[in-house]
Structure 1
Amino acid sequence: MVRLTQLLFAFVALLFLFGCTAHVPLDDASATASGIQELVVANNKFGLDLYDKLVENDDGNVFFSPYSISTALAMTYEGARGQTAQEMQSVFYFPTESSVRQPNAAAIYNSINAPDAEYALSTANALWAQQDYQFIDEYLNTVERYYGGSAKSVDFKTKTEEARQTINEWVSERTNDKIPELFESGSLNPLSRLVLTNAVYFKGSWETEFDPDLTGDEEFFVDDDTTVQAPMMRQTGREAEFAYAETDDVQVLELPYKGDDLSMILLLPKNNMSALEESLTIENIELWKTQLLDQRVDVYIPKFTFKTSYGLKDTLRDMGMEIAFTENADFSGMDGTDQLLIQAIVHKAFVEVNEEGTEAAAATGVIVGTTSIPVQIPEFRADHPFLFFIQQKETGNMLFMGKVVDPTK
């Protein structure tokens, strides 16, 4: 059926540090350890699936937040019904029971916002609704209760640009200005009706920081034909002890951040990146992590900073989420009508790794409208492409995931 109006629902999720803002804990009274783990596994499986798709047509640096994207689409999923919901669930592996999905999502939110941490990590949500448009109270209440998305009124109809700037400023502030313009000019219009924002930002210092005086340019082998000079950080000597493991195909290194709640896992292929990527499964990652042992390791990794931006509509469609983008989409759980569909999904991310630690941020926008022990001392020399992810150590929840192909770009 031909749609007569064009409602726009934009949904944003970011991974970011949230200044000094106080967070009210969400309702996780019914959360369980097994329920939290079910959501973590869902997030990580989706992250690996998405990674496979992203690298099919991109041989450069990769960086995104599985948690950000999963959270954005989880809030969208709360309003999906019928086959639309089924396809979203098949791609994101969401628990179908709301009694499992919702309180455990709240528990993960609360863990990210844990007070008095030795690092900066927090997440927040906001719902920006057209001031005269009616959404179902149950949907709004669910988003606020379990995702922290409180509703704020804006005027997309007559003050579209003002609304866009207000939302972008909110996002920028909560990503330490790393995602300054999530919504570009023209992305919202007078028929926009709802924007949901989720922001997460991280900044942490290494448990053992690298000495800047030891950093120096060295060759980094992008591929068989390309070499660049990259600033290589190093930790060697008796103090260089880290959790390390290796197989015939990969070296695995864990670098903890201060506070010991978060860490970076680096996967360095011994042969070629393609072989490592083919073996990249939840089971193998967990196996490699169980093999990690604290030991002396000479570590060499490059400094790098880069930004990424992805349009995910076609990617998610290829992964099996098709109906949500068509006129047959059913998001009636949001407003009680059959007029909403997802028009676009955009994800932006930022990462910087240096001697002190890591800073990372990510944002996702979903636009919905009508019509993320050797005998000798081993050497971990990351002088060729490698994979990495930043995780919550207790659960293994992947907050960010990336691939460094060229640290100079």
Structure 2
Amino acid sequence: MRSAGGRGEIKVRRELQPRKRVPGLANRARTGQEKRNPQRLVLETPSQNVFFSPMSVSTSLAMLSLGAHSITKTQILEGLGFNLTHTPESAIHRGFQHLVHSLTDPSKDLALKMGSALFVKKELQLQENFLGNVKRLYEAEVFSTDFSNPSIAQAKINCHVKKKTQGKVVDIIQGLDLLTAMVLVNHIFFKAKWDKPFYPAYTRKNFPFLVGKQVTVRVPMMHQKEQFAFGMDTELNCFVLQMDYKGDAMAFFVLPNKGKMRQLEQALSARTLRKWSHSLQKRWIEVFIPKFSISASYNLETILPKMGIQNVFDENADFSGITKRDSLQLSKATHKAVLDVSEEGTEAAAATATKFIVRSKDGPSYFTVSFNRTFLIMITNKATDSILFLGKVENPTKS
């Protein structure tokens, strides 16, 4: 794994006409942010590569809810999967606060950075309570921005995101206009080394990968024989391989049996992931995984209404908790993420001396698994038990 970067962006524009450390809490935030986003985005694009950060999307929306009132607030939080009867709003935000803080702790073994920023029209008067909560709970940066020159404002925001994701996510904002009043940005960046890296000399340069039912493309296929946590989910008809990173993260590669991808997609949930993490057993595996790079962008305004988050986009939006005088509604919600998978797991291209043990014929028996057709990949954080990134690789040759 080289690196993965993602960010969720929410742009709020002015209406033309004004209207007349607590683990239990972290678990609640985790459960809500994983309940609907993964399945919805995967199902929306049945024949395309998918890659996004449930954490990034959910944090952006939870942060936005701080300034929402009435049904607008309810739709956002319930759309994220929270039961407001059982979970107070204050507990939800404290849970996200714990997650944000956990993901920004420095580590020598992996780079995992998450943050938020508000770009606010300089004439806009923000509610002090909203501004304080955004900074305290989500550690957000706030920038006074001149939206009277949309191209300059757009360049400023894009530059910020590019810098925060170390150049991985570029030109995320497109088409700002004079009506823009505020842009809310959430970014997440991930870079880690495999605990058991692949040896580049063993990568097969021209390996067949099945796209769909009949088309075959050629990809570089990484290869190694090692002990990994591995198992077969007989209920979902798929193989599951867990590969650890150095540090507090791991990846799950999931290969469904032919014709069973739809069943797997519909069953995706945090509970399924926890079931796998507790049931997999270490065994000798000969594994083939493509070396690839994919990216994906999503206009969430077409997806969020299907999750019940509807009022934010129309004249019924109530964001009176954000600004004192101006009436706001959500005009655009965009998310983009990038994933690179390679032998050593670092972003740097320099080769390093990695371990590869050639086993004799009378060595331990091993199972061979080849990810040479559509598969899922999930990157999780062990400390918070959260899904950082989720992807479906339909065609590894398409970036």
TM-score (norm: length of structure 1): 0.83
Mapped contact 2:232–2:238 kept (Cα < 8 A): yes
SS of residue paired to 2:395: coil
Tell me the amino acid that sits aligned with residue 395 of structure 2: D
Alignment of 1:41 with 2:53, yes or no, is: no
CA distance in 2, matches of 1:220, 1:63: 19
Mapped contact 1:6–1:191 kept (Cα < 8 A): no
Instruction: Note the C-alpha offset of 1:327.
Output: 0.7
Tell me the amino acid that sits aligned with residue 377 of structure 1: Y
Residue 255 of structure 2 is matched in structure 1 by: 268
Structure 2 residue ranges without an equivalent (≥5):
1-13, 348-363
Alignment of 1:4 with 2:16, yes or no, is: yes
SS of residue paired to 2:321: helix
| Aligned mate of 1:191, from 150, 159, 179 | 179
Mapped contact 1:130–1:155 kept (Cα < 8 A): yes
Residue 97 of structure 2 is matched in structure 1 by: 106
Tell me the amino acid that sits aligned with residue 117 of structure 1: K
Alignment of 1:246 with 2:232, yes or no, is: yes
After superposition, where does 1:132-143 map in structure 2 within 5 Å?
A: 132-143=123-134
Q: 1:35 to 1:95 in 2, by over 3 A?
A: farther
Mapped contact 2:39–2:266 kept (Cα < 8 A): no
SS of residue paired to 1:297: strand
CA distance in 1, matches of 2:134, 2:370: 45
Instruction: Note the C-alpha offset of 1:102.
Output: 2.1
| Higher alpha-carbon deviation: 268-277 or 378-387 | 268-277
Tell me the amino acid that sits aligned with residue 369 of structure 2: F
| Higher alpha-carbon deviation: 82-91 or 350-359 | 350-359
Residue 213 of structure 2 is matched in structure 1 by: 224
Mapped contact 1:65–1:399 kept (Cα < 8 A): yes
| Aligned mate of 2:381, from 381, 388, 392 | 392
Residue 125 of structure 1 is matched in structure 2 by: 116
Q: 1:346 to 1:103 in 2, by over 3 A?
A: same
Mapped contact 2:15–2:328 kept (Cα < 8 A): no
Mapped contact 1:38–1:95 kept (Cα < 8 A): no
Residue 89 of structure 1 is matched in structure 2 by: 77
After superposition, where does 1:5-404 map in structure 2 within 5 Å?
A: 5=17, 31-55=21-45, 58-94=46-82, 96=84, 97-157=88-148, 159-184=149-174, 187-216=175-204, 217-236=206-225, 240-248=226-234, 249-259=237-247, 261-272=248-259, 273-336=261-324, 339-357=327-345, 377-404=366-393
TM-score (norm: length of structure 2): 0.85
Instruction: Note the C-alpha offset of 1:93.
Output: 2.1
Q: 1:133 to 1:275 in 2, by over 3 A?
A: closer
Q: 1:125 to 1:275 in 2, by over 3 A?
A: closer
Structure 1 residue ranges without an equivalent (≥5):
8-30, 360-374
Tell me the amino acid that sits aligned with residue 37 of structure 1: N
CA distance in 1, matches of 2:368, 2:25: 39
CA distance in 1, matches of 2:379, 2:125: 39
Cα-to-partner distance string for 1:17-51 (whole Å, 9 max, x where unaligned): xxxxxxxxxxxxxx411111111111111333323
CA distance in 1, matches of 2:156, 2:98: 29
Residue 27 of structure 1 is matched in structure 2 by: none
Instruction: Note the C-alpha offset of 1:384.
Output: 0.9
SS of residue paired to 1:335: coil
Report the number of matched residues. 361
Q: 1:161 to 1:95 in 2, by over 3 A?
A: farther
Instruction: Note the C-alpha offset of 1:167.
Output: 1.4
Cα-to-partner distance string for 1:79-137 (whole Å, 9 max, x where unaligned): 11111111112211247423312222121111111123311111122222222210111
Mapped contact 1:221–1:227 kept (Cα < 8 A): yes
Mapped contact 1:53–1:315 kept (Cα < 8 A): no
